[in-house]
Amino acid sequence: MTENQLPATLAEIRDDFLALEQRERLEMLLEFANELPELPPRYSEHPDLLERVEECQSPVFIFVEVEDGVVHLFATAPREAPTTRGFASILVQGIDGLTVDEVLGIPDDFPNTIGLTEAVSLLRIRGMTAMLGRTKRQLRERVAA
């Protein structure tokens, strides 16, 4: 178990944000938003499979897959909600390809540590915390199933 150990992928994203001025952090978040991959057809054609993150202001949906012990995270959010897309994109890029234990070990307060609480406000960061929480919960369900 790698309990509460931040995976290198997410640590790198965090360090990249922290190295920037507040204003540039917003720009990087927008870059993440633009990089959120399109859903593969098996999900874009079956939105019923996706779970809505109720805590987010904008409709954002996530789905977790486990294949040979490797985790894949899919997410979608509207273009009109770039902040939410940015949060989802950070998690997708940071989580995709990790092992189950690595994902379950991500500290729950990760969203508060990447230097965005001032740039986007603590209130909005809660949406990302909820996304991470639901990702981990879905993952536990998949593994238990």
Partner 1 sequence: MTVETDSAPKFAGYAHPERLVSTEWLEAHLGEPGLVVVESDEDVLLYETGHIPGAVKIDWHTDLNDPVLRDYVDGEAFASLVGGKGIARDSTVVIYGDKNNWWAAYALWVFTLFGHEDVRLLDGGRDKWIAEERPFTTDRTTPEAVDYPVVERQDAEIRAFKDDVLAHLGHPLIDVRSPEEYSGERTTAPAYPEEGALRAGHIPSAANVPWAKAAAEDGTFKPVAELDAIYREGAGLTEGEPVIAYCRIGERSSHTWFVLTHLLGFEDVRNYDGSWTEWGSTVRVPIVKGAEPGEVPAR
- Rule CB under 8 A: which residues touch partner 1? 26-27, 29-30, 33, 54-59, 79-84, 86, 118-121, 123-124, 126-127, 130
> CA angle at residue 103 from 16 to 75, to 5 degrees?
75
Looking at beta carbons only, is 51 or 55 nearer to partner 1?
55
Looking at beta carbons only, is 81 or 114 nearer to partner 1?
81
Q: Cα–Cα distance between 20 and 142 in angstroms, integer?
A: 37
Least distance from partner 1 to the Cβ atom of residue 8, Å: 27
Looking at beta carbons only, is 46 or 52 nearer to partner 1?
52
Looking at beta carbons only, is 104 or 125 nearer to partner 1?
125
Least distance from partner 1 to the Cβ atom of residue 19, Å: 20
Least distance from partner 1 to the Cβ atom of residue 28, Å: 11
Q: Contact 54/94 with Cβ under 8 angstroms? A: no
How distant, in Å, are the alpha carbons of 11, 33, 86, 103, 128 from that of 78?
27, 10, 11, 25, 15
